């Protein structure tokens, strides 16, 4: 019996460091990381986010400095999220279309600082701009209206592309938005602007700290269950991905991350499209809380979870731990 003990001892190849290195199946490098950054008004401003220890909102000058840091660390892309001032929020989120909004100023500052050495990914959804904290426009019953929202998202995406965004990432979960945004990008001759769609985004309890960071948490009444997915569903995630590919997405995302690695694996196995995952704010906070409580080693927890994403089939991961992980991986 060839494959049985003691002919086969799987511990043989684990016995030494060199052998473990030789047999390692999955590799993670800083080039697998996307670093989400929160932008705020002002100059020289750094505001720590209480529910995300170690993460701050930065004014535009600080964002440019973080962008240079990303390049130095070998991180290829940063993702931007604005903390829009309360007085600039409205029911219709019109600030999303202002060519001089916080997001557009941050995009331009990064492009001035880093040019093509760094990709800029921008989130498309209205929640950082609405006074009600929902991702879209409400009808008179308070329902998030799909088609009206899609046309607002198209304007938002074009506004970002014109400011220099490299990857448009719609996180709103409206039906049909990828097709509409792709058409508008083509019409606007933004032929090389990518779309990374948040294709399978679940109505999750893990987004709490993010909503604090962009300032929409206190505003949001109710939940996002009429557009974000039910955590119980897998087949539906595959349908979402299939549609988004057909509509013109270059890559797709699964979100949240750790609790949804089965979805990542199924997307990876079913479609020839790059799949990314978002290790979201609540996951970051969980790791930080565990480390602070002495329940685990922070660096080891960070690298082990990021490795899990790669092992499940991810091309890359959005994570607030990106700079820490890149430093660790760079030795």
Catalytic site positions: 201, 255
Minimum distance, C-beta of residue 163 to ligand PBG, in the bound complex (Å): 18
Q: Which is nearer to ligand PBG, 32 or 123 (CB)?
A: 123
**Could you tell me the smallest distance in angstroms from the CB atom of residue 290 to ligand PBG?**
17
Specify the residue, 16 or 150, whose C-beta has the smaller distance to ligand PBG.
Answer: 150
**Which tokens in the block code for residue 289?**
């809380």
| Helix segments in the chain, DSSP class H | 17-23, 60-73, 102-114, 146-163, 177-187, 208-214, 235-247, 261-270, 281-292, 298-312, 322-329
Q: What does the DSSP assignment read for 154-200?
A: HHHHHHHHHHT-SEEEE-S--TTHHHHHHHHHHHTT-TT-EEEEEEE
Residue closer to ligand PBG (CB basis): 62 or 256: 256
- 5: helix, coil or strand? coil
List own/partner pairs for 84-89 with CB under 8 A and 24 or more apart.
Answer: 84/128, 84/129, 84/214, 84/215, 85/41, 86/215, 88/129, 89/129, 89/130, 89/131, 89/219
**In the complex, minimum distance from the CB of residue 125 to ligand PBG, in angstroms, rounded to a whole number:** 3
Tokens of 240: 């979402």
Return residues touching ligand PBG (CB under 6 A): 123, 125, 127, 135, 171-172, 207, 210-211, 224, 280-281
Give the nearer residue to ligand PBG in terms of CB position, either 135 or 247.
135
Q: How far is the CB of 62 from ligand PBG (least distance, A)?
A: 19
């Amino acid at each position: 019996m060839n494959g049985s003990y003691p002919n086969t001892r799987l511990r043989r190849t684990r016995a030494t460091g060199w052998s473990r290195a030789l047999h390692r199946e999955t590799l993670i490098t800083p080039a697998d990381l996307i670093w989400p950054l929160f932008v705020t008004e002002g100059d020289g401003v750094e505001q720590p986010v209480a529910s995300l220890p170690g993460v701050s909102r930065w004014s535009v000058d600080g964002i440019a400095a973080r962008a240079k840091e990303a390049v130095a660390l070998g991180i290829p892309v940063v993702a931007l999220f604005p903390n829009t001032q309360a007085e600039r929020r409205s029911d219709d989120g019109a600030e999303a279309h202002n060519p001089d909004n916080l997001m557009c100023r941050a995009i331009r500052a990064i492009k001035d600082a880093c040019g093509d050495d760094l990709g800029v990914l921008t989130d498309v959804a209205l929640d950082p701009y609405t006074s009600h904290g929902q991702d879209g426009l409400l009808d008179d019953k308070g329902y998030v209206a799909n088609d009206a929202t899609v046309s607002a998202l198209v304007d938002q995406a074009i506004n970002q592309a014109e400011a220099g965004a490299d990857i448009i990432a719609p996180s709103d979960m409206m039906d049909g938005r990828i097709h509409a945004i792709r058409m508008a990008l083509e019409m606007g001759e933004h032929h090389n602007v990518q779309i990374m769609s948040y294709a399978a985004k679940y109505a999750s309890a893990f987004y709490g700290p993010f909503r604090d960071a962009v300032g929409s948490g206190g505003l949001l009444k109710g939940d996002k269950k009429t557009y974000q997915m039910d955590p119980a569903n897998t087949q539906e995630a595959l349908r979402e991905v299939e549609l988004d590919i057909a509509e013109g997405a270059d890559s797709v995302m699964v979100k949240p991350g750790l609790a949804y690695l089965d979805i990542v694996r199924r997307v990876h196995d079913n479609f020839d499209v790059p799949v990314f995952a978002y290790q979201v704010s609540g996951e970051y906070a969980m790791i930080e809380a565990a480390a602070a409580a002495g329940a685990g080693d922070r660096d080891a927890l960070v690298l082990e979870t990021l490795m899990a994403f790669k092992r499940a089939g991810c091309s890359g991961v959005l994570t607030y731990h990106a700079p820490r992980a890149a430093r660790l991986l760079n030795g």
